Chains A and B, each alone.
Chain A
Amino acid sequence: MQKRLIVPDQLLDIMIQRLAHQLIENHVDFSHSVILGLQPRGIFVAERLQQKLQDILGFPVRTGQLDITFHRDDFRRRESPVMANATHIDFHIEDQRVILVDDVLYTGRSVRAALDAMIAYGRPASVELLVLIDRRYTRHLPIEAKYVGKYVNSLPSERVLVEWKNKETPENNIWLITKKEEN
């Protein structure tokens, strides 16, 4: 297994700062805008974005967590079912401008499921997509992100790993991992 660093800690911080400013450019005071992080990994991006927006704007931006497990289209097509996560949305999304947030955009199937899951909570005024990494030329569905941290050219045999700082990992990093060749 080969591991190549594609976004180091410092750059990731700048990236999130840039994405936050792009959001402010379009949403100004966020009075009708909300952020929804996709479970399981998009929630960490949403958390950091919310923190950054709050630092810049001086007031909190409504942020929720959306689980898409029961809306996935690969149920019964994988080895075992995916464990569900919690959905936390303590505001109405009816007539709001929703910003869906995930870490990596690959086939687009998760985002399709997220659109489906989100509709159960109301009819948003508009929906935008923000991702840290957009894996180019890998889409199965006509879905594109409006805000992108970085475009990456990758092979299907590769995987993008976003690591967040915690007890085990000392820094925030994004890696491109080449899976071992199977003989």
Chain B
Amino acid sequence: MQELSVRHLLGIKDLTPADIQLIFETADNFKDVLNRTIKKVPSLRDITIANVFFENSTRTRLSFELAEKRLSADVINFSASGSSVKKGETLLDTVNNILAMKVDMIVMRHASAGAPHFLSRHIKANIVNAGDGTHEHPTQALLDSFSIREKLGEVTGKKIAIIGDILHSRVALSNIFALNKLGAQVMVCGPATLLPRHIADLGVKVELDVRKALAWCDVANVLRIQLERQQMKYFPSLREYTLYYGINKKLLDSLSKEIVIMHPGPINRGVELSSDAADSHHSIILNQVENGVAIRMAVLYLLASKVA
């Protein structure tokens, strides 16, 4: 009988390695449930969950909603566009109004870093961070590590290169925390303008040449260029980025070994990843999506046991 050391999932930073293992072992069992004819279990039938999305999302939102429904929770959805947020309501007021309807857990995505942390200090409901600005995206990092564990047997000792827009990526930061806690070696790679200063202090290697990064790693986690978060020009043109940092089948075939290609989505085909690489046997991109539901079920299940 084990439980998580936290009440909320705000970031990977707060988790212990034992927490991550517990989530993985629970997700293994949920993955089994998802492969049955009847993919539903009644565990969370007395829990109501609100998915509160202040920022656009396809995968994460669908994945959370499906996970909640597979656990038999009652689900309500909220998106900022078309809501009273546009009329000037504050975050705390919005969430308190949702909670007044007797909601037990909040899954939240917000464009500001630290928004779920702020909320956790003011409300009683359990919070799952579904991405806060450029800070953390814990469930994505968990499903990434879970997918590596599934593909390669274990995460410990494996070499993972995170390639692309590290500066604006919450996926990168959460992945670095998760992989470090699981004992993997991590490298970040991208144009110098898109690498945060002092990133090496997190215990990662830094590489500017994508060929060297690919030659070093067992797994390449390729990230999207987040143009919507870029206030200024970080590189001359997308075409030039693709020329120097784009990954294609030819580049993968030129390596002396097989590496695994991951991408958290959405892919900008032909920019960071070419179609022949994204759809090749190297890629486990759709396995990541499949595992996302099992991981989110595990997180919700383990946190729901702490609902007051």
Q: Which residues of A contact B79 (CB under 8 A)?
A: none
B90 at the interface (CB under 8 A from A): no
Q: Which residues of B contact A103 (CB under 8 A)?
A: none
**A75–B1 CB distance below 8 A:** no
Say yes or no: A80-B305 contact (C-beta < 8 A), given A70-B42, A116-B42, A120-B37.
yes
**A76–B42 CB distance below 8 A:** no
Q: Which residues of B contact A81 (CB under 8 A)?
A: 1-3, 301-302, 305
Interface string of B164-196 (1 = CB under 8 A from A): 000000000000000000000000000000000
Interface residues of A in 64-82 (CB under 8 A from B): 67, 69-72, 75-76, 79-82
**How distant is the Cα of A19 from the Cα of B222 in the complex, in angstroms?**
59
Q: Which residues of A contact B255 (CB under 8 A)?
A: none
Interface residues of A in 50-103 (CB under 8 A from B): 67, 69-72, 75-76, 79-87
Q: Which residues of A contact B41 (CB under 8 A)?
A: 70-71, 120
CB of A117, distance to nearest CB on chain B (Å): 8
- Judged by DSSP, the binding face of A is loop
Q: Which residues of A contact B33 (CB under 8 A)?
A: 70, 120
**B29–A75 CB distance below 8 A:** no
Q: Which residues of B contact A85 (CB under 8 A)?
A: 29
A8 at the interface (CB under 8 A from B): no
**How distant is the Cα of A80 from the Cα of B306 in the complex, in angstroms?**
8
- Judged by DSSP, the binding face of B is loop
Q: Which residues of B contact A119 (CB under 8 A)?
A: 38
CB of B83, distance to nearest CB on chain A (Å): 30
Q: B27 — nearest CB in chain A belongs to which residue?
A: A84
Q: Which residues of B contact A70 (CB under 8 A)?
A: 29, 33, 41-43, 301
CB of B53, distance to nearest CB on chain A (Å): 26
Say yes or no: A80-B46 contact (C-beta < 8 A), given A70-B33, A87-B32, A121-B37.
no
Q: Which listed residue (B29, B40, B307) contacts A67, Cβ 8 A?
A: B29
Interface string of B23-63 (1 = CB under 8 A from A): 00110110011001110111110100000000000000000
Q: A85 — nearest CB in chain B belongs to which residue?
A: B29
Interface residues on B, range: 20 to 34
B304 at the interface (CB under 8 A from A): yes
**How distant is the Cα of A85 from the Cα of B33 in the complex, in angstroms?**
12
Say yes or no: A76-B37 contact (C-beta < 8 A), given A81-B301, A82-B1, A86-B29.
no
Q: Which residues of B contact A84 (CB under 8 A)?
A: 25-26, 29
**How distant is the Cα of A155 from the Cα of B2 in the complex, in angstroms?**
28
**How distant is the Cα of A86 from the Cα of B25 in the complex, in angstroms?**
10
Q: B28 — nearest CB in chain A belongs to which residue?
A: A86
**How distant is the Cα of A141 from the Cα of B40 in the complex, in angstroms?**
24
Q: B297 — nearest CB in chain A belongs to which residue?
A: A70
**How distant is the Cα of A80 from the Cα of B32 in the complex, in angstroms?**
22
**How distant is the Cα of A82 from the Cα of B302 in the complex, in angstroms?**
10
**A76–B305 CB distance below 8 A:** yes
CB of A57, distance to nearest CB on chain B (Å): 30
Q: Which residues of A contact B25 (CB under 8 A)?
A: 83-84
**A80–B3 CB distance below 8 A:** yes
Say yes or no: A120-B29 contact (C-beta < 8 A), given A75-B305, A81-B301.
no
Q: B70 — nearest CB in chain A belongs to which residue?
A: A70
**How distant is the Cα of A84 from the Cα of B2 in the complex, in angstroms?**
10
**A122–B37 CB distance below 8 A:** yes
Interface residues of B in 59-99 (CB under 8 A from A): none
**How distant is the Cα of A71 from the Cα of B3 in the complex, in angstroms?**
18
Q: Which residues of A contact B43 (CB under 8 A)?
A: 70-72, 75
CB of A39, distance to nearest CB on chain B (Å): 10
Q: Which residues of A contact B1 (CB under 8 A)?
A: 79-83
Q: Which listed residue (A71, A80, A86, A121) contacts B2, Cβ 8 A?
A: A80
**How distant is the Cα of A116 from the Cα of B46 in the complex, in angstroms?**
17
**How distant is the Cα of A50 from the Cα of B302 in the complex, in angstroms?**
35
Query: Can you identify 14 A-B contacts, CB atoms within 8 angstroms?
Result: A69-B29, A70-B33, A70-B43, A76-B304, A80-B1, A80-B3, A81-B302, A83-B25, A84-B25, A86-B28, A87-B29, A116-B42, A120-B33, A121-B37
4 pairs of A and B residues whose beta carbons are closest in the complex: A70-B41, A80-B3, A84-B29, A120-B38
Interface residue ranges, A against B (CB under 8 Å): 67, 69-72, 75-76, 79-87, 116, 119-122
